[in-house]
Amino acid sequence: MDRFLRSASLAFAAALALAIAPASAAGQPATGQGSTGQSHIVAPGDPGSAQYQEDVPTAAGSRPVTTLHPGSGTPQAAVPLPAPVVRTLDAKGTVGRQTVALAQAATPPAPKHAVVLRATTAATASLLASALLGSGGGAGALLPIVLALSLLIAILLTIRRRMR
């Protein structure tokens, strides 16, 4: 029983961390807060005309993001970045800002049935994580599990205490 409770507690803690981390990260903007200026977003290949460039407010005023994509391969999946990470990357100059900008990228959803050419354990784990966490950046289906687990552990602890 102790082992079960320890495992359950660990699982609960891990699940809670998973549930909270994406949700808090998703709540952070990829650029600085406090609109004291505008930042033009101009990636290579975008139309040069200002009317086709996105302006976003930044804390540091006008800062052109001149190279969003260095030009290799297909973009990666979305990675919401917390504000401290954004600030750290911003401080690293162009390369850091590129990283922030790239974190905005996302990929289309996977199909339901696939011909297997080569499957990996990582892909399977990733699929399971996706099923649990959903694709919105929040806790997805994990939140009710975490809440139910909390309730279950509390009940188990109470029963155990009474048995002693």
Partner 1 sequence: MIDSHAKRQARRLLRCVGALTLAGLLCGSLAAAASARAAKHASAPKPPAVLTLGFNDPELFSNFAPSDVAVGLSNAHTAGASIWRFFISWSLVSPAQPPSLAEAADPNWSGYNWASIDMTVRQIAAAGMTPLVALASAPAWAEGPDRPSSTVAPAGTWDPSATWYGAFARALATRYSGTFVDPAESAQPLPAVRDWEAWNEPNLAASLTPQWTASNQPASPAIYRGLLNAFYANVKAVAPQDVVAGGTTAPFGDPPGGQRMEPVTFWRSLLCLSAGANPHSDCHQRVYMDALAHHPYPLGPPTTHAVDPGDISVPDLGKITSLVPIAERAGTLLPKGPKPLWITELSWDSNPPNPNGLTPALQAEYLEGALYVLWKQGVSLIAWWNLRDDGPTPGWTNSLASGIYYDGTTPATDVPKPSYTAFSFPFTAYRTNGIATLWGMAPAPGPVAIQVENGTTWTTVITLTAGASRIFSGPLIVGTGTNLRAVSGADTSLTWTAF
The token pair that represents 105 in the structure block: 């990228």
Rounded to whole angstroms, the Cα distance separating 131 from 138 reads: 12
Instruction: Pick from 62, 131, 150, 158 the residue near partner 1 by CB under 8 A.
Output: 131
The minimum distance between CB 37 and partner 1, in angstroms, equals 12
Q: Closer to partner 1 at the Cβ: 93 or 108?
A: 108
What residues numbered 95-124 form the site for partner 1, per CB under 8 A? 101-102, 104-120, 122-124
- Taking CB under 8 A as the binding criterion, the range among 13-21, 53-61, 84-92 that sits at the site for partner 1 is 53-61
Parallel, antiparallel, or unpaired: how do β-strands 54-58 and 37-41 relate?
Answer: antiparallel
Query: What's the closest the beta carbon of residue 158 comes to partner 1, in angstroms?
Result: 11
60 binds partner 1 (CB under 8 A): no
Q: Which residues contact 55 (CB under 8 A, 6 or more apart)?
A: 38, 39, 40, 41
Cα torsion 137, 140, 144, 145: sign: negative
Contact positions with partner 1 (CB under 8 A) in 81-100: none
Shortest CB 111 distance to partner 1, Å:
4
Q: Output DSSP code: residue 77.
A: P
The dihedral built from the CA positions of residue 146, 25, 135 and 120, taken in this order, carries a sign that is negative
- Residue 18 engages partner 1 in binding (rule: CB under 8 A): no
51 binds partner 1 (CB under 8 A): yes
